Structure 1
C-alpha cells in the first residue's frame, strides 16, 4: 500500500472517531479536522453558519472557465446514534478487523465525504486543471431532515449563486458486484393527524371520541398501505421504489394523568411517515389525506413536506458522462430510485440534476444498523473511481 492510501485511510478513521452523532453532534471538531485536511492539499476551505451552531464546510476550486455551470460534491457530517450494547466494537473507535473498518458513519456517509476531498485533492496535486469550478460541501443535519444544512443553502440563494450544473451526493452499498446509483428518490411526507372528541367516564359508551376517530384514521391508512404492499408482491419486476410506502410511527392520547385509565381523553394524535414514489402523482396521496380528514372529522399538519420531486434525466450529458466513466472503469451500475430521502431532494427541486453514488459494492447495506462497516479496499477503490469520474465530468 502506498503512502497516499495510508494517509487517506488514517484520515477516514480520524473522521469516524469524531462523534458527530445526534442529538449533540460535535460539528466544531469535525469542521476543524476538515479544514486542516484541506490545507494539506492547499485547498481553499471556509466554514459558515446559516443556522446557529450548525456550521457548513465549503471547499472551492475555480475552474479555467468559471462562468459555465459548476460541480457540487456534497456530503453530510452528522450520523445517527448507535447502541453500543449491540456493537462488537465501540462505534466511534474505527476499529479494523479482517480488512473491515467498523464505525458509525462508515457507509452513511463519512466515507463519501473523505473520498470527495481526497480525490479532488489528488487531482489538484497532480496538476490537473478543472474546466468547471468545483464546490465541495460538508453539511450538518441531514439525518434530521436537512433543514439546517442543505435546505438552508438552497433557501439562502447560495446554491443558485454557485451556478451548479450537476451535484453528487450519497447512495447505498450494493451486496453484489454491481454499484447502485440513484437518479431520484421518494418524497417524504410526515403527517400528524389530530382528533378531538367527547370526553367522559370509561364505564360509559361515549360516542365520537378522539380515540375512535384516530382509530378510523389508522384503519384507512393501513388499508392503503396493504394495497401498496399487494402491488409490490404481485409483480416480481417491481421494487419498493415503484410504490408508495406508509408507516404509522406514533399514536398518542392526552389525559389529565397517566393513571387516569377511566378517563376518555379529549384529544388524540397519529403520526405517519409516507414516502411517495416519483413514478406516480402526489395527487393520489393528497386526495387520500383529504378524504381521511373529511370522513373521520380530523385535522392534519405536515411535519415534513416535499412539494416537488424531480428526477435526474438519465439521458442528460451529466449522467451519460458518469455512465461512460463507470464503463471505462469496468464497473457496472444499477440506476434506481432511492427508497428514502437525502439532501439531493432540495437540489432536484431547483432543477439541478443530482447523482447519488456511494462506490460500495460487495457490501451489505448497514446504514443506521449495528456493526456498520466498510472494507478498506473498497473504500480505497472509491477514491480512484471518483478521480476518474470527476475529471471526466469537469471536462464536458
Structure 2
C-alpha cells in the first residue's frame, strides 16, 4: 500500500485513540506509533515524562552520514471535545464528504499520519532519505510541553543534539487569494507566551454593608483595563516579508503598518494573522468568593498574554501599568518567542516541493499567533519551521477548526501533503 493510500486509514486510527489533554494520557497513541514503525522494521523508543505521558522517538538512517539530521516532530495530544457540540463523534475518525472528521484532524494528527505513511512506505520499498531523519511523536504540547518536548530537551538532548533544522505543524497550508493565486504559509516565527495570575486582596466583610476596598471590584477593574487595552502595532521582519510577498503577488503597494489594507485579502487566515501585528493579553479565567453575602478577601484572574519576538518586556511593563495599585501578578507559564529567516537550502526545498505539486503555489513566511513545540527544540540550536503541507478548499475556514468544533481535513489535502513531504525529504 502506498503512502497516499494509507494516510487516511492511519489518521482515522489515530483520531480514534482519545488523547485529550490532560484526562487521557498519550501512552496508547505512543504505543500505536511504535507498533506501526515496528511493523516495517523501524526501531523506536517510548519515553515517559510521568505515568502515561509518553513520547515515541525514532531515527531513520540516511544515505549521507556526513549531513546533519532533520527533526520532524508532531504532538499526539489534543484538546478536549464536547461531543454535544459536534455533528459527528469527535473521536470517531469518520470519513465523509471527502474529509476525515475528528479531534486532531488538523491539530495535529494529520501531520503525524502523513509522516508515518511516508516512512512506512519508504521502509517497505527500501527508499532512504539523503540525510538522517529523527522522528519525535511527543506528548503534552497542548499544555505547553512540560511533559513532552520540554522534558525531552531537558532530559534527553542527546537524541536531537546533531539536528540543525526541524519541521512540524501549522505551516505549508494553502490560502486562496483569488482563483489564480494561492499562497502557502510557511511558519518561520511564533509569539511567546506569558500566562499571568492576577491577585487582588482586601479586607473581607458582609455583603450587605458599605465596603470601600473590595477585592472583586479591584480585580474586575484591572481585568477590564487589560482586556480593553489597545496594543500598538509592531511589525516584525516576518510580517514585513509576508506583506512584501503579497504586494508582489497582487501587484499592489501594501503597507505592513496598514493592516486593514492587507489582512482582509487573507480570508479566514486573517483571524490568526491579525494577532501577529501586536502583543495581546486576553482575560480567560476568574475566581472569587464562596458565598453570596460574603465579600472575599482575595480575587484572582488568569490572563493569556502572547508577545512578539523581542517584545516580552514591553508587554509586561504595560501590564504592570494597567494593574493598578492593589493588584499583583505572577507568571504561571512562560515560554519564548521563536523567529528564523525565510531562506536557506531547506526553505528552497520546501518551496520547490510545493511548486512541483501545485504550479500556482506561492510560498511565503508567516508569524503564528499561538505556540508549538518549536519553542523547546529551538533551544538546542535548530532552525524550526512550521511545514505540514495541505492543499485546502478555498471556502474552508481552516483557522476556525483549531480547537474548534467539527474539525476536519480533506482527504485530497492529506494525499497532497504526503506527496509534498516525499519530494521535500528526497531533496533536502
Decide: shared fold, TM above 0.5: yes
Cα distance in 1 between the residues matched to 2:405 and 2:280: 24
Contact 1:232 1:240 in 2 (8 A): no
1:218 is matched with 223
Q: Structure 1, unaligned stretches of length 5 or more?
A: none
1:221 Cα deviation (Å)? 0.8
Contact 2:17 2:29 in 1 (8 A): yes
Contact 2:231 2:278 in 1 (8 A): no
Contact 1:310 1:349 in 2 (8 A): no
1:318 is matched with 346
**Deviations along 1:280-317, whole A, 9 cap, x unmatched?**
52221121233345x423221112112x3231221233
**Deviations along 1:137-180, whole A, 9 cap, x unmatched?**
11111112211001111122426753111111100654534432
CA change 1:7–1:302 in 2 (3 A) is same
**Deviations along 1:215-260, whole A, 9 cap, x unmatched?**
332233134246669x998643463211112211112213xx42xx
The alignment covers a number of residue pairs equal to 384
Alignment of 1:76-115 (within 5 A): 76-115=75-114
1:305 is matched with 334
Cα distance in 1 between the residues matched to 2:160 and 2:11: 31
Q: Name the SS for the 1:115 alignment partner.
A: helix
1:214 Cα deviation (Å)? 1.1
Contact 1:313 1:319 in 2 (8 A): no
Alignment of 1:118-157 (within 5 A): 118-157=117-156
2:50 is matched with 51
Q: Name the SS for the 1:13 alignment partner.
A: helix
1:79 Cα deviation (Å)? 1.2
Q: Name the SS for the 1:30 alignment partner.
A: helix
1:188 is matched with 193
Contact 2:90 2:101 in 1 (8 A): yes
Contact 2:278 2:308 in 1 (8 A): yes
CA change 1:300–1:346 in 2 (3 A) is same
Asked if 1:378 is matched to 2:413, the reply is yes
CA change 1:143–1:23 in 2 (3 A) is same
Asked if 1:9 is matched to 2:37, the reply is no
Contact 2:130 2:427 in 1 (8 A): no
CA change 1:334–1:292 in 2 (3 A) is same
Cα distance in 1 between the residues matched to 2:75 and 2:211: 50
1:73 Cα deviation (Å)? 0.5
Cα distance in 1 between the residues matched to 2:331 and 2:299: 16
Q: Structure 2, unaligned stretches of length 5 or more?
A: 177-181, 235-255, 264-273
Cα distance in 1 between the residues matched to 2:226 and 2:389: 37
Contact 2:338 2:374 in 1 (8 A): no
Alignment of 1:207-246 (within 5 A): 207-225=212-230, 235-237=260-262, 239-246=274-281
